[in-house]
Amino acid sequence: MSYKKKLIEVALPLDAISAESAREKSIRHGHPSTLHLWWSRKPTATARAVIWASLVDDPSSHPDKFPTEEDQQAERERLFGILTELIKWENSNNKNVLEKAKAEIEKSTNGKPPALLDPFTGGGSIPLEAQRLGLKAYASDLNPVAVMINKAMIEIPPRFEGQGAVNPEARAKPIDTWQGALGLAEDVRYYGEWMKQEALKRIGYLYPTVRDEYGQERTVIAWIWFRTVKCPNPACGCEMPLTSSFELSKKKGNETYVCPVISDGEITYELKTGTGAPQGTVNRRGATCVSCGTPIDFPYIRSEGQAGRMGSRLVAVVAEGNNGRLYIPADNEHLQAAQVSRPEEYPDAQIPDNPRDFKTPNYGLKRFADLFTNRQLTALTILCSLVAEAQEKAEADALAAGMEDDALSLAEGGSGARAYGEAIGVYLAFAVDKLADYHSAVCSWNSPRENIRNVFGRQAIPMVWDYAEANPFCNSSGSYNNMLDWVVKCLTRLPGGPQGTARQFDAQSDTGLRNVMVSTDPPYYDNVIYADLSDFFYVWMRQLLKHTYPDVFRTMLVPKSEELVANPYRFDGDKDQARVFFEKGMLEALTQIYISARDDIPVTIYYAFKQNDTREDGNGNEQTVSTGWETILTAIVSAGFQIMGTWPIRTEKPGRTLDIDSNALASSIVLVCRKRPEDAPICTRRDFLNALKRELKPALDKLQSANIAPVDLAQSAIGPGMAVFSRYSKVLEADGTPMSIRTALQIINQELDLYFSEQDSELDADSRFCVDLYTQYAFNELSFGEADVLARAKNTSVDRLAKNGIVDAEKGKVRLLTREEIPEKVDWKSTWLLTQQLTRAMEREGVAGAAKLAAGAVSSEPERARALAYRLYTIAERKGWTGEAYAYNSLVTMWRDIQTAAAELRRRAPEQTTFGFE
């Protein structure tokens, strides 16, 4: 098989793609993520870049047009220019930019761009971007919530493209052209507003206003509640509040907190201004009674919760003021308004048995309905019934506006009045579903920002002690208005284009599609258990849309058993069974992808999972492997693919502690795969090792010079290593058995270690000694004798190191000085010291501080310090020294910014280039 090399197999403007992808996290208005929550979405910039670069030929594929390396590079630069413009969020719907990009796709695909399949579509970034680039997109997912998100993005809007709004208000206006989905969006806004007015008529009385200190009526934003249990101290027995914080506002000038007042064993709550809030009563270890000070452990709170004896107490009302939030004590009227009985019917289900992600069942909140107050359940169920009414109205108006009366539903492929009414219903259902995320008794009040946190701030449902019950009819965060607005804005920005298809499908089955391009982002081992989490939304969505899409909502809950995730809870806690299930399923899914994929376009697979298992092998050596990576790579290689390249694309802003603490990664690794030729050679272990030695070092040099975050380096190295391994049909061990992926990964990791230790030889003697000491003792003491032997072996001496302010040597003990203890004066000659000084500057003053040091550089020392920071990160990460790993990771990830700021400092003060450090 010989096919034209695509750009993605040769080069990408990685920095630009990473920068745009990370920037997207802070873009809200109109972004697809605001249509409906989905966990671990891929940025649209990444997806757009990957699809485009997988379709466009690399110039080296056209030696007739670009005979020399220079010609090819010049052409690549031109393509990079197009790509760099294409990925900008602002250009998402820029006709000129899109036309230019599409023209290149046409050129490289003989005018016949392929269809794209994403069998693990989730939040749908990949199919959406395919549609934007003019491809027909097939999106499938096992999860009905994901399927609906994709229908709402790529299936429904093209069906009503250019359709004018049908509501009476819009029809009365003299607008005759409605671009794209603007008509649909306008109708969603209109019927959504109608719903709000109707809901206000029916349940507005449940949300009384409040009077401020001047007697002026104010709209409530939220009611603040503390959960309570009876203090187990028999001498006390008060209804003790459980709260992580008493603070309501940390905003400068508006600091306010709740103050518990204890009198005769009764607790009342006052509001105070200023910064003297008492400590919250619950922390990681347990709770404390505010009245008698008795410490209370979680088992007691759990048993009270399980027995249904956990209460809640209204402690404050937050209202909209003229210049910010107002905090008003709760009175009886507000307490009364909250005393609502449960609606007769409401969507509900048991919370899945998944103690990792759901903490509330421990405290007796075992059903989804338990996560809502009665008032919240009432509002949400009323809104559900109003969606159905709005849908009917929209259908009637659509008929009046002259749309076809073909009685065909959306699910049947209709595009007449009935389907249109249903389409409006889908987007309104999304607004209600989004509201549930902010209208739950596990939403807390965010005192620094003075707004409500949603349920899914993380990929889990935590237990929340102090919760904020939002007013759906206010105009602040968490309101129905806001939810509707997000949905409408997103709809106005959807690209339209060829009719897409979204369907519920198990990726392990044959889609029937052939000769399509495949780009996909499969589940990352056990990282997110989507099916469990999404039940929270599914129960509402099902109630709202089961008549519109009976097939999608045929199950009572999100299907779980086929979900590809290594979830031990589904196997009675058996991790091995969970792994085998994931492994087998992934192989099946990858085999289906192999069958569907066309040969001339690479398959791209996203993966982001940290290598986190460090174990000892039989010889007492530490081996780093990752079951998460092992399973996916085994599936890719066994399905018949070879890895042509990998791209670590940074999708998060740098420097989050999460990067280091969890298995989540700041970068997504995009694996570029091709079908392995049937006649691929077999090789021996030795051949593999030789090839690896040849190819891995330049690849690692490239990664480091691209400034890949240390936290991502190990997984980024897997790509080039596996590219070598997977080009052979088999790598044979000495005994003739084929080498496993696990062994290959171990060898790749050993090579990575070797790469770092070879870098040691470029270090000065003192720094080599320090690295050794750090690896073995961190900043802890060792005996002088031992330190002396180590120092001599590295050609230095403890005395000299002590004189240079690197170690402390006293009373027969030696230890590395910590960053707080090392000298302020910069020492350009010791890479160790400089690395620590730069890291310290970064810790203390951020980029500006580190830049001040780097600006004084007169040699390549800062670059050496950066290289050493990679090494120190790797050591710290493996040893589990999170704080240390975080510090070095931050230094490297901000390196470009440090360099830019340093250059600016040098430009502004050339006379001070050495900054007096020498």
Per CB under 6 A, which region of 248-256, 322-330, 500-508, 779-787 contacts ligand SAM? 500-508
Contact 188, 393 (CB under 8 A): no
In the three-class reduction of DSSP (H, G, I as helix; E, B as strand; rest coil), residue 807 is classed as strand
Among 461, 297, 451, residue whose Cα is nearest residue 370: 461
Integer Cα distance of 660 and 359 in angstroms: 23
Q: Is 459 in the site for ligand SAM (CB under 6 A)?
A: no
Closest to ligand SAM by CB, 33 or 543: 33
Q: Is 41 in the site for ligand SAM (CB under 6 A)?
A: yes
Closest to ligand SAM by CB, 37 or 455: 37
Distance of CA 362 to the CA centre of its chain: 27
Closest to ligand SAM by CB, 122 or 654: 122
Closest to ligand SAM by CB, 122 or 862: 122
In the three-class reduction of DSSP (H, G, I as helix; E, B as strand; rest coil), residue 622 is classed as strand
Binding mask of the shown chain, residues 181 to 200, with x at each position contacting ligand SAM by CB under 6 A? --------------------
Closest to ligand SAM by CB, 42 or 189: 42
Closest to ligand SAM by CB, 119 or 496: 119
Q: Is 629 in the site for ligand SAM (CB under 6 A)?
A: no
**One-letter amino acid of 645:** G
Inter-axis angle of helices 831-855 and 895-908, nearest 10? 50
DSSP β-bridge partners for residue 660 = none
| CA pseudo-torsion sign 289, 293, 298, 301 | negative
Q: Is 507 in the site for ligand SAM (CB under 6 A)?
A: yes
Closest to ligand SAM by CB, 223 or 530: 530
The 10 Å CB-count burial string (b at 16+, else e) for 593-622 is bbebbeebbbbbbbbbbbbbeeeeeeeeee
Least CB distance to ligand SAM at residue 647 (A): 16
Contact 611, 625 (CB under 8 A): yes
Closest to ligand SAM by CB, 143 or 899: 143
- Please work out the total of residues on this chain that contact ligand SAM, with binding judged by CB under 6 A: 24
Closest to ligand SAM by CB, 42 or 439: 42
Q: Is 786 in the site for ligand SAM (CB under 6 A)?
A: no
Given candidates 75, 247, 506, 532, which one binds ligand SAM under the rule CB under 6 A? 506
Three-state SS letters, 60-92: HHCCCCCCCHHHHHHHHHHHHHHHHHHCCHHHC
Q: Is 126 in the site for ligand SAM (CB under 6 A)?
A: yes
Integer Cα distance of 610 and 714 in angstroms: 8
Least CB distance to ligand SAM at residue 645 (A): 20
Region class of 167: left (phi > 0), else alpha (psi between -120 and 50), else beta: beta
Integer Cα distance of 101 and 418 in angstroms: 37
Least CB distance to ligand SAM at residue 770 (A): 41
Q: Which residue has the tokens 């992600």?
A: 357
Q: Is 38 in the site for ligand SAM (CB under 6 A)?
A: yes
Binding to ligand SAM in span 841-870, by CB under 6 A: none
Binding mask of the shown chain, residues 136 to 175, with x at each position contacting ligand SAM by CB under 6 A? -----xxx--x-----------------------------
Integer Cα distance of 207 and 210 in angstroms: 9
Least CB distance to ligand SAM at residue 117 (A): 12
Given candidates 19, 27, 40, 388, which one binds ligand SAM under the rule CB under 6 A? 40
Per CB under 6 A, which region of 395-403, 518-526, 804-812, 896-904 contacts ligand SAM? 518-526
Closest to ligand SAM by CB, 471 or 519: 519
Given candidates 31, 36, 42, 815, which one binds ligand SAM under the rule CB under 6 A? 42
Per CB under 6 A, which region of 191-199, 478-486, 516-524, 715-723 contacts ligand SAM? 516-524
Binding to ligand SAM in span 84-123, by CB under 6 A: 119-120, 122-123
Least CB distance to ligand SAM at residue 607 (A): 9
Integer Cα distance of 778 and 815 in angstroms: 8
Least CB distance to ligand SAM at residue 149 (A): 8
Closest to ligand SAM by CB, 395 or 532: 532
Closest to ligand SAM by CB, 126 or 636: 126
Instruction: Please compute, for residue 168, the number of CA atoms within 13 A of its CA located in the half-sphere on the CB side.
Output: 3
Q: Is 508 in the site for ligand SAM (CB under 6 A)?
A: yes
Closest to ligand SAM by CB, 607 or 870: 607
Per CB under 6 A, which region of 40-48, 485-493, 765-773, 894-902 contacts ligand SAM? 40-48
Least CB distance to ligand SAM at residue 509 (A): 8
DSSP β-bridge partners for residue 668 = 649
Closest to ligand SAM by CB, 530 or 873: 530
Closest to ligand SAM by CB, 650 or 819: 650
Least CB distance to ligand SAM at residue 669 (A): 13
Binding to ligand SAM in span 539-568, by CB under 6 A: 562-564
What torsion, rounded to 10 degrees, do the Cα atoms 308, 310, 314, 318 define? -100
Binding to ligand SAM in span 234-263, by CB under 6 A: none
Least CB distance to ligand SAM at residue 604 (A): 11
Q: Is 495 in the site for ligand SAM (CB under 6 A)?
A: no
Region class of 42: left (phi > 0), else alpha (psi between -120 and 50), else beta: beta
Q: Is 530 in the site for ligand SAM (CB under 6 A)?
A: yes
Distances (CA, A) of 523 to 126, 648, 862: 14, 17, 39
Q: Is 231 in the site for ligand SAM (CB under 6 A)?
A: no
Integer Cα distance of 747 and 695 in angstroms: 13
Q: How many CB atoms lie within 10 A of CB 283?
A: 10
Closest to ligand SAM by CB, 354 or 743: 354
Least CB distance to ligand SAM at residue 40 (A): 5
Q: Is 521 in the site for ligand SAM (CB under 6 A)?
A: yes
Instruction: Please compute, for residue 79, the number of CA atoms within 13 A of its CA located in the half-sphere on the CB side.
Output: 29
Write the burial class of residue 259 (CB in 10 Å: 0-12 exposed, 13-18 middle, 19+ buried): middle
Question: Residue 782: which H helix or E strand, with range?
Answer: strand 782-783
Least CB distance to ligand SAM at residue 542 (A): 16
Contact 480, 435 (CB under 8 A): yes
∠639-640-646 over CA atoms, to 5°? 95
Closest to ligand SAM by CB, 114 or 119: 119
Binding to ligand SAM in span 581-600, by CB under 6 A: none
Parallel, antiparallel, or unpaired: how do β-strands 782-783 and 807-810 relate?
unpaired
Integer Cα distance of 481 and 485 in angstroms: 6
Closest to ligand SAM by CB, 38 or 66: 38
Q: Is 652 in the site for ligand SAM (CB under 6 A)?
A: no
Inter-axis angle of helices 831-855 and 882-893, nearest 10? 40
Per CB under 6 A, which region of 244-252, 378-386, 505-513, 619-627 contacts ligand SAM? 505-513
Residue 495: partners with Cβ closer than 8 Å, 6 or more residues away: 92, 93, 128, 131, 132, 180
Residues that bind ligand SAM (CB under 6 A): 38, 40-42, 119-120, 122-123, 125-126, 141-143, 146, 506-508, 521-523, 530, 562-564
